Amino acid sequence: MLFVVIAGVAVWVRARPEPLPVVDVKPVAVAMPTTTTTEPPPPPSTAPPPPRASRAAVPVAPRAPLPPAERPLTGPFWVAAAKGDIHVFRSPGGEHQETLPSVNEAMTTTVLLVKQRVDSEWIEAYMPTRPNEHTGFVRVAEVNLGTVDTQIKVELRYHRLTAWAGDQMVAQERVAIGKPSTPTPTGIYYLAMLFRTPNPGGAYGPFVFGLSAHSNVYEQFGGGDGMVGLHGTNQPSSIGRSASNGCIRLPNAAINRLAHSMPAGTPIVITG
């Protein structure tokens, strides 16, 4: 499902089943056959039944193995953590584009994935706002720069997520993705924030990563702006299918591992 504001998460509550009614079973009189003077019928034939025509076994074609996943980017990657509100410009020293608050919806520091370092004073970074994949220019003085060497790739055609730390693959999982009517957007994004959900057994599992990606179908969803999430699920049967409103669903054990190994700012590349 699409993730927007964690306080607005819809929680499925499974109702306790009603007890079955008690049936009062009473004995029923059974009529016995009357005595007759006719000869009894002959015993049933003991000859074996004619052989049943056998069906030819239908061969099942083996599923073709998926090609190995390859890292889409070469790290490590610069990330920028806000010192205060971040003022974003369309070019270095140019027209003001937007202002990002120092703290995001998860009440953690706003983090940006840096696309390039222009010079000692300016960086170009991916924005966590609409439209998808847009960038802006930020003064180095307004952020703390650091690096991450983790990355995630989601291959929609294979319903597969792969994560790396450096050049080592650390996770590969089947995922649920958006339905054809509400597809998961492709492109280069990053893990913008992480929420611990109030109900680990709920619709979003124990953790939700809010991505810098947004739905191309929903301008608003559940009270938020249609942010795409990477999260767990209480519908494990949906894994491996195109079943969500655009979010990427993982088994709960897998999202728990990623929450403890993939820091904010980690790039996530989503391919068709």
- Kindly list the catalytic residues: 231, 247
- The rounded distance, in Å, linking the Cα atoms of 136 and 169 is 31
Calpha distance 272→91 (Å, rounded): 31
Strands (E), the chain: 77-82, 86-89, 96-100, 111-117, 122-126, 135-139, 143-148, 150-155, 160-165, 168-174, 177-178, 187-196, 207-214, 227-231, 242-244, 248-249, 267-271
Q: Are 153 and 266 in contact (CB under 8 A)?
A: no
Contact 128, 106 (CB under 8 A): no
H-only helix segments in 55-208: none
* C-alpha distances in Å from residue 184, one per residue of 137, 181, 190: 27, 10, 14
The tokens describing 240, both together, are 């491996």
Q: Could you tell me whether strands 143-148 and 177-178 are parallel, antiparallel, or unpaired per DSSP bridges?
A: unpaired
